[in-house]
Structure formats: structure tokens, C-alpha cells
Structure 1
Amino acid sequence: MVKTYAEALQFIHGRDRFKKKPTLTRMREFMRLLGDPQDKLEMIHVAGTNGKGSTVAFLRDLFMADGQTVGTFTSPFITRFNERISTNGVPISDADLLATVNQIEPVVAKLDAELGDQGPTEFEIDTALMFCYFAQHPVDLVVVEVGLGGLYDSTNIMTPAISVITTIGLDHMKILGDTIPEIAAQKAGIIKEKVPVVCGRLTPDALAVMDETAQRQNTQVTALGRDFTVQNQPESTWGERFAYEFGTTRWQHLQVDLLGQYQIDNAAAALTAYLTYHALRQLPVSAATVRQGLQHTAWPGRFERLNEQPLIAIDGAHNEPAMVEMARLLRQHFATNDVYIVLAVLADKQYQQMVQTLLAVPNVHLILTQFQGPGKRQAATPLELEDAVANHDRMTVASDWAAGLKQALNTMSAEDLLLLTGSLYFISEVRQYFKGTDV
């Protein structure tokens, strides 16, 4: 028996992260031994390269504005593991997490005894905890974020009411494939028989994979740019404003408090999934509720303001597609400010391209640094990052991110922006520091 919260975390994090051969057979057996708790839940499934977390947050707040109780399953966490399993945005309590760990621990031990080193992985245990917790603490709806890929992700033993695929980009290529269609095929693995699919802004080759998969599964895809549209309606305050059109639904000046064109796309994908769900369940829709839900949405670590004067923000952009969006955001909202970026990236990411993408923004000053990577995963060293481009007069190196932060604060003026980015794990560290510190 696991006796303390610390032991519960040790039990979870002490597992292998991956197995050599991807399979759902072990996860299905795991759930069967637990009584198939996933079959008791009403769910929406969210996959994609980037934008999953924000889309989950928009869905959560849209349904909460309706008066629904909404469970969410997300990864990674920003401050504490408990955030990954939340109800109406409130993380699972330590006591409930401990109780749920003790419920699944004997089943894990049984599978370990049968399968040896092929027992459940860390993420399979996370997923099992979530399914068991919500089966015992019922909510109206659970919004489930895919961990990695889709086809073989441990969440993919469920049958949701709606499947959502946000974006397709080149990331986790060693696991998911080297091309957009290969990666799209992995994400399309969450498409189920007769379950409606909502897609964000996909390239034509990625969308073709979704359409083909949906056809095989007797369902159809509703895609951003083809079946529903958004139009940016810029405004000077923090956040984004946009027009939305889907079928006979047309709304002007929808407001979100998150920055970036990609957040408009994420909000629109979430809104389309919300409307599709309401049509499916024959539920009424209120424009006022939709506006309230979207405007209320906050998502830690996504261009999150930590300080007003000077303006300091963090963003979990952790791959090249996210950096392309980041560069676009900086050009759109901060073209007249100097932007100081403290960048730390995991070594298995495309950091060469990430550095080059940021330096292509003319008012960006880059401070390359590192952080302590999670578990066995290493961060790229400042020298590795520096080697990504030839000598550059807008690029310097700091031994650690605290030194990089100090360097930026000593150089920038009150009108400039300081942004810390490159990894969700990195900004988790930064966020904890700031939440206990005055600048």
C-alpha cells in the first residue's frame, strides 16, 4: 500500500516513459482489470502537435459557462502533478490522488508480474488514474488531451462524443514519423466510427489524411478554413478579437484573453466542437454564454504575463511550429518594442531552426541558456544553441536562466518585453520562481 502523497508521486514517476513497441493491448487489459472505468464517461478527445492545452481550456470554460461540471486531463503540469486531473479547473486533491493510486497499484503489480519489463508505462498509469477518478467522482463531461500522437496513445481506448485535432507539425519525429502525412496518420488514429471530427488549421496534405480516415470510419471532418472560418479583428488591448462563421452561426467581436493568431484558431476549434456537441445532444446554445466562456479562458504558461512593469511573459513554445507562431505574434503585437528572449530548449528538439526563426524577427535580442531537463531528458547547452547560427550581434549566452534573466533586466528599458520560452518544463521552473518573487 502507498502511504503518502510523496510515495504516490514516486510510484507514478518511477515508471518507464516509453516501450519499444507501441501497443494498446496492455492498456486495454489494464482497464479491463479495473472494470473499464472509461466506458462510464462522456468525453471529448483532443489531439494535435500544438494547441491541445489551450483548446482543452477553451472547451472547459465554454461548457462551464453552460453550468456543466467539466473534468480535464492535460499534460505536462506547470506547478504540480495534480493539475493534470482537474474538475472545473481545480486539481485533484492529494488525498484523492493517493486513494486512486492505491486503487490501481495492485493491478499494476499484477501486470508487472505477468509482463515483466513490459508492464504499464508512466503515462498509462496517469491515464488509468484519470479514468478511475472521474468514474468515481462523476462530472458531466471529461475533456481528454492526448499525450503523444494519437493512434497508440494510452487515452485512445476511449470512444468520445467528439474528436478534435488542433494542428499537425513536425515534432516527436523519431516516434511519429518524418513527414506531415505520417504524423497526421498518427493523430488521425483517434478518429472513431461515427464520431464527429473537428480540425484546426491543417495543411492540405494533413487534412486529406483526416478526410480519408473519417471516410473509413463513417464520419466526417469539420475543418477550420473550409467548413468554419475566423477573421482577426485586431484591437489594442491585451488578447485577441475575431469574427466566427460556421453554417448559419455568425458572431462578431468574440474576445479571448490569450495572445496570438493561433489562440484564435484554438478558440474556434473548441467553439466548433462545443457547437457540434450541442447539436448532437440537442442542447440549446446561448451567444452570451459562448462569449463569457471564451473571454474567461486562461491557460498558464501560454504567453502568460508574470509582470506588468517591465512586461515579463512566459510561453511554453517547445518546437519549431510553435516558434513560427511565436515569431508571428511578436511581429503583430510587439513590432515597436525591443523584445528580449531568454531561450532554453530540450536537446531532442529542432533547436537550430527555433533559434533561426526567432532571430529572423528584427527587434528580437536572444539570450541562450539552459535548465535542468525532466528525468533523463537533457536540455541543449547554450553552446549547442549558439552553434545553431553564425555569430550574431543580437545573440548572447548565459550560464543559467537566472543569469540570463538578470542580463536582460539590466539591458532592457521599461517599454521592452522580456519573454522566457523554449520548453514547458523550463517555464514551469520560471513560473514557480516568479510566483514567489517580486521583480
Structure 2
Amino acid sequence: MVTTYKEALDWIHGRLRLGIKPGLKRMEAMMSELGSPETKLKAVHIGGTNGKGSTVTFLRSILEASGYSVGTFTSPYIEQFNERISVNGQAISDGEIVELVNVIHPLAHKLEETELGGPTEFEVITAMAFYYFGHVHPVDIVLFEVGLGGRLDSTNIIQPMASVITNIGLDHTNILGNTYEEIAFEKAGIIKENTPVFTAVQHKGSLQVIKNQASEKNASILVLNEDFSIVKYQGLTKGEQFSLKSKFGDLTDLELGMIGKHQTENASLAVVALQYLDEQKLITVTEQSIRTGLSAAYWPGRFEVLSEQPLVILDGAHNDEGVSKLVETLSTRYANRSIHIVFAALKDKKLDKMIAQLDQVADQITFVSFDFPRAAAAEALVKLSHSEHKLGVEDWRTYLSEEVARLKEEEVLVITGSLYFISEVKSYLRITSQSSKILLKQ
């Protein structure tokens, strides 16, 4: 039994030693012991390579504006571990984490004595979320973000009202496959019998795989640019504006507070999925709640403007597709500014294409490392860059503080890469903001 929050986190993170073990049998065994809490939930399941967290945020914000209590299970966290299990955007308390660990701990020990083996860190956290929303704090709707892949992800024991697949990219290829189609098959594994699926996947081969899986499961499917479309797009000073055409009717001049043209795709997925559920009388959403929810939606670490004077942006672009969206947004919005990029990444990622794209948009690029077992060394990242203005730094904290302090009006500092790095950066800058030039937005 654990008695403190630190003990609880130490035990959870200690499960990292077990690595990643795709499969559902350990989850099913734990849920059986807990009285199958996952069967008590009204849920939406969100998978894909990029955009999952943003789509969860749009869904949550619209549902909240419609008067629902909404639980979310997301990963990783940006500022606090507890964020992974939240209600209406508020992370659960330290005390609740301790209580949940004391429920799951004996089940993990019991599994370790079987041929299934002990649950991984992610399986433990997923089990905590199921138990929390099923028994401790029931809510109207729970939004579950897939951790890795989909078919064998530990969240995939739920029977959701709808499944959402954002896009497909070549990420986690050592586990999910080396082609878009192989990865799409894993992502499409969240599609359930007779359960609608909504997707923004554009790669033709990937989309066909998803359509085939939907057909096999007798699941209706709505596809961006086929069944619904984005029209009249324009970037706003602090967000995006677009109109949405679908069989549910046209919604004109929708506004987002989140920056990046790609966010209109994530928002469209959320809107159409909820409109479908409304049509099926599973929920009730109005045009006004859609507008209010989209405008209010906020997701940390996704092209997040930490400060406007000086201009400091935080973006968790941690794979090729994410970097492409970042570069597109920077090129569109800040072509007249000097762009300084600070980048850190995990060494098991395919980094050459990511860095090549950043090289093209950066007037200066600095590579750093951070305290994480899989973090790439700054020196190794520098070697992959062909920029004439590159630098490698080991002490990123001191470096960032100095860079923020000397940043000029015509410059923009973009801190990007691994979400684990982004998490450390945001916590550090928030702590040091009072003694530095940066004024973090709250």
C-alpha cells in the first residue's frame, strides 16, 4: 500500500522497466477483477498519429459548452502527471492518484504471478482511468485517447459510441509497421462493430485500409473531403476561421483559438462526430455550443504562444508530420520574422527528415538534450543538420533563459520536439518567469 503521492508516482513510473507490451489480455484480466468498469462508460475513442490531443480538446470543449460533464484520458502530460485523467479539463487530485494506485497495485502484483506478466506503466494508468470513471467519479461522457497504435492498445477494450481517426503518419514504425498501410491497419483496430467512425486521413492507401476495416465491421464512415469539407479558410491573428460543409448542414465562419490550419481538420472531425451523435439522439449539441466550444478550446504545447512580447512559441512537433505542420504554420504566419528554433528529440525517432524541414525555415537552430532515458544527445542532432547557423547546447535551461532575455522584437523563439521535452520546458519557464523577461500566459 502506498501512502503518499510521491510513492504512487514512483510505483507507476517504475513500471516503465517493463517497456511496451501490446495486447489486451492483461487489461481484460484487471477489468474483470474490478467489475468491468469500462462497460459502464459512454465513450468516444480517438486514435491517429497526430492531432489526437487537439481533437479530444475540441470534443471536450463543445460537450462542456453543451452542459455535459466530460472525462478525458490523454497522454503524455505537459505540466502535471495528473492531467492524464481529468474532468472538464481539471486534473484529478494527488489524493485520488494515491487511492487509484492502491486499487491497481494488488492487481498488478497478482498478474505478475501469472503467465500474462505484470502490466506496463501505460496499462496501469489506463486501468486507473477506467476504474475512476466507472466507479469513483462517473461522468456523462469519457474521451479516450489511444496511447500507441490502436488495435492492441490498452484503451481498446472499450465499446465506444464513436471512433475517430485523425491522420496517419510514419511514427513508431518499429512497433506498428514500416508502411502507411501497415500503420493504418493498427490505427483502424479501434473500429468496432456497427460503431460509426470519422476520419481525416488523406493518404490514399491508408484511407482504403480504414474503409475496408469499417466495411468489415459494418461501421458507417464519414471522411474529410468526401463526406464533409472545410471551405473559406483564413488565418486569424490569434487563431483560425473556416466554414464546414456536411450533410448536417453548413456552419459558416467557425473560429478557433488554437493556431494552425491543420487544427481546422481536427475541429471538423470533432464537430461532425458530435453532430452525428446528436442526430442519433445519443447526445444534444447546438450550433451555439459548437461555436462556443471551438472558440474556447485550448490544448497546451500545440503551437502555444507562451509570450507575445517577446514572442515565444511552444509546439510538440515530435514526428515528420508534426514538423511539417509546424513549418507550414511558421512559414505562413512569420515569414517576415527571424525564426530561432530550439529542438530536442528522442533518439529512437526518424530524425533526419524532421531536422531537414526545420533547417529550411530556421534562421538559427539550436539542438539540445534533456534528462530522459531515450533523449538524443545534442551533438548527435547537430550532425544531422545542414544549417549554416546551428548550435549544440547541453544546458538547455540556462540557454533558454538567456535567449528569452535577449530576444528582439523582430524575432520569434520556437521551442519544439519531444512532448517530454516540451513538458519540462513549460514547467521550467513557468517557475522562472517572474525573474525573467518572459511573461507567461495563464
TM-score by length of 2: 0.94
Deviation at 1:23, TM superposition (A): 2.1
* RMSD value, Cα: 1.7
Residue 49 of structure 1 aligns to a residue whose secondary structure is coil
Residue deviations 1:40-86 (CA, integer Å, cap 9, x gap) = 00000000101000100110001000000000000001111110000
User: Is contact 1:342-1:404 (8 Å) kept?
Assistant: no
| TM alignment of 1:271-310, pairs within 5 A | 271-281=271-281, 283-310=283-310
For residue 86 of structure 1, what is the aligned residue in structure 2?
86
The one-letter code of the counterpart of 1:157 is: I
Q: Distance in 1 between matches of 2:22 and 2:235?
A: 46
User: Is contact 2:165-2:201 (8 Å) kept?
Assistant: no
Deviation at 1:21, TM superposition (A): 5.8
Deviation at 1:400, TM superposition (A): 2.6
The reply on whether 1:59 has 2:48 as its aligned counterpart is: no
Q: Which moved more, 1:328-337 or 1:37-46?
A: 328-337
For residue 413 of structure 1, what is the aligned residue in structure 2?
408
For residue 427 of structure 2, what is the aligned residue in structure 1?
432
Deviation at 1:146, TM superposition (A): 0.4
Residue 194 of structure 1 aligns to a residue whose secondary structure is coil
For residue 46 of structure 1, what is the aligned residue in structure 2?
46
Deviation at 1:397, TM superposition (A): 2.3
For residue 319 of structure 1, what is the aligned residue in structure 2?
319
Deviation at 1:234, TM superposition (A): 1.8
Residue 249 of structure 1 aligns to a residue whose secondary structure is coil
The reply on whether 1:255 has 2:250 as its aligned counterpart is: no
The reply on whether 1:176 has 2:172 as its aligned counterpart is: no
Residue deviations 1:314-372 (CA, integer Å, cap 9, x gap) = 111111110011110111111111111111111111221111011122x5321111111
Q: Distance in 2 between matches of 1:337 and 1:304?
A: 17
Residue 397 of structure 1 aligns to a residue whose secondary structure is strand
User: Is contact 1:17-1:123 (8 Å) kept?
Assistant: no
Q: Distance in 2 between matches of 1:143 and 1:171?
A: 23
Calculate percent identity across the aligned residue pairs: 43
Residue ranges of structure 1 left out of the alignment (5+ in a row): none
Deviation at 1:4, TM superposition (A): 1.3
Residue deviations 1:239-296 (CA, integer Å, cap 9, x gap) = 1111111114111111111111111111111111111111122554421111000000
User: Is contact 1:317-1:423 (8 Å) kept?
Assistant: yes
Residue 14 of structure 1 aligns to a residue whose secondary structure is helix
TM-score by length of 1: 0.95
Q: Distance in 2 between matches of 1:382 and 1:358?
A: 15
The one-letter code of the counterpart of 1:325 is: K
For residue 219 of structure 2, what is the aligned residue in structure 1?
219
Residue 234 of structure 1 aligns to a residue whose secondary structure is strand
**Kindly tell me: are residues 235 and 27 of structure 1, through their superposed partners in 2, closer, same or farther at Cα, counting changes over 3 Å?**
closer
For residue 27 of structure 1, what is the aligned residue in structure 2?
27
User: Is contact 2:235-2:261 (8 Å) kept?
Assistant: no
For residue 345 of structure 1, what is the aligned residue in structure 2?
345
User: Is contact 1:56-1:143 (8 Å) kept?
Assistant: yes
Residue 426 of structure 2 aligns to a residue whose secondary structure is helix
Q: Distance in 2 between matches of 1:248 and 1:200?
A: 17
Residue deviations 1:396-434 (CA, integer Å, cap 9, x gap) = 222332344256447642122111001111111110111
Specify which of 381, 384, 392 is matched with residue 380 of structure 2. 384
**Kindly tell me: are residues 248 and 410 of structure 1, through their superposed partners in 2, closer, same or farther at Cα, counting changes over 3 Å?**
closer
User: Is contact 2:21-2:120 (8 Å) kept?
Assistant: no
Q: Distance in 2 between matches of 1:368 and 1:115?
A: 44
Deviation at 1:97, TM superposition (A): 1.6
User: Is contact 1:201-1:265 (8 Å) kept?
Assistant: no
Residue 255 of structure 1 aligns to a residue whose secondary structure is strand
Residue 78 of structure 2 aligns to a residue whose secondary structure is coil
Q: Distance in 1 between matches of 2:202 and 2:18?
A: 28
Q: Distance in 2 between matches of 1:285 and 1:401?
A: 45
Q: Distance in 1 between matches of 2:423 and 2:20?
A: 29
**Kindly tell me: are residues 410 and 40 of structure 1, through their superposed partners in 2, closer, same or farther at Cα, counting changes over 3 Å?**
closer
Q: Distance in 2 between matches of 1:104 and 1:409?
A: 43
Deviation at 1:103, TM superposition (A): 1.6
The one-letter code of the counterpart of 1:385 is: L
The one-letter code of the counterpart of 1:335 is: A
The reply on whether 1:393 has 2:388 as its aligned counterpart is: yes
Q: Distance in 1 between matches of 2:308 and 2:293?
A: 25
Residue 159 of structure 2 aligns to a residue whose secondary structure is coil
Residue 148 of structure 2 aligns to a residue whose secondary structure is coil
**Kindly tell me: are residues 127 and 410 of structure 1, through their superposed partners in 2, closer, same or farther at Cα, counting changes over 3 Å?**
closer
Deviation at 1:179, TM superposition (A): 0.3
Deviation at 1:235, TM superposition (A): 4.0
Q: Distance in 1 between matches of 2:129 and 2:282?
A: 28
Q: Distance in 2 between matches of 1:88 and 1:142?
A: 10
Residue deviations 1:99-139 (CA, integer Å, cap 9, x gap) = 121122222221112237x2111111111100000112110
The one-letter code of the counterpart of 2:333 is: H
The one-letter code of the counterpart of 1:121 is: T
How many residues are matched? 433
| TM alignment of 1:98-117, pairs within 5 A | 98-115=98-115
Deviation at 1:387, TM superposition (A): 1.4
User: Is contact 1:358-1:364 (8 Å) kept?
Assistant: no
Q: Distance in 1 between matches of 2:405 and 2:87?
A: 42
User: Is contact 2:274-2:285 (8 Å) kept?
Assistant: no
The reply on whether 1:157 has 2:157 as its aligned counterpart is: yes
The reply on whether 1:123 has 2:119 as its aligned counterpart is: no
User: Is contact 2:343-2:366 (8 Å) kept?
Assistant: yes
The one-letter code of the counterpart of 1:131 is: F
